Amino acid sequence: MYSPSPTAESSTKLNNFIVNGQLPQRIFTRREVIPLRSEVLWRIERGAVRTLTWSEDGTFITLGYWGPGDIIGYPLSKIKPYQIESLTSVEVSVVPPQLWHQDIDALLSHIQQAEELLSIVHRKPISQRLWQFLVWLSEKFGREVEDGKLLALNVTHQEIAEVLNTTRVTITRLLQQFEEEGQILRNKRRMILRLPNKVITK
């Protein structure tokens, strides 16, 4: 299993990040791991990523989903191991420490989103937990269409299960139930959430 370790960088190198007033950008392909740097944050310009860790038995634990405008990076976490995985093609900019003060809003948003996801993960029953997670994803990565809100991010049943601390089989069963009840529609491999919806209590 890949286990990245951040590398410290000298102040001289950090100062060299800024070239002609611009921060360098990098592009990562889908499922590529974004390098960790102990003194650098990344600003997502395009695409989506997830941050994750894993337990001693190899079980993945998703820490968050992040998109354009979000700030991510090892300095924001004390969790080890820690990994940033591209869920789509992703473009990021380097944000060195001397510029962190310019991104207070993004850093506050990072904290707020992490707390929102944490509150969702602890909701009961599991059907309510799943529905609230889908709504949360649609608010972050969705767009309005004629039938509701299209979840533009393709998240697998296994990945959802890892976020919500349940099994892939349970997620598949509940998604089928949501579809039968008309709360979600299928658009090829993507979902359309029909909002507003009734609260599920089953």
Instruction: Tell me the pLDDT of the chain (202 aa) as tens digits.
Output: 444 444 444 344 444 455 445 557 899 999 999 999 888 899 999 999 999 999 899 889 999 999 999 999 999 998 999 999 999 999 999 998 888 988 899 999 999 999 999 999 999 999 999 999 999 999 999 999 988 999 989 899 999 999 999 999 999 999 999 999 999 998 777 899 998 644 443 3
Per CATH, 11-105 and 123-193 having the same topology is answered no
CATH of domain 11-105: 2.60.120.10
pLDDT for 3 equals: 46
CB 60 within 8 Å of CB 162: yes
pLDDT for 22 equals: 52
pTM: predicted TM-score of the whole model, two decimal places: 0.80
Domain boundaries, the chain: 11-105, 123-193
pLDDT for 23 equals: 58
pLDDT for 147 equals: 87
123-193: CATH, from 3.60.120.10, 3.40.50.1820, 1.10.10.10, 3.40.50.300: 1.10.10.10
pLDDT for 125 equals: 95
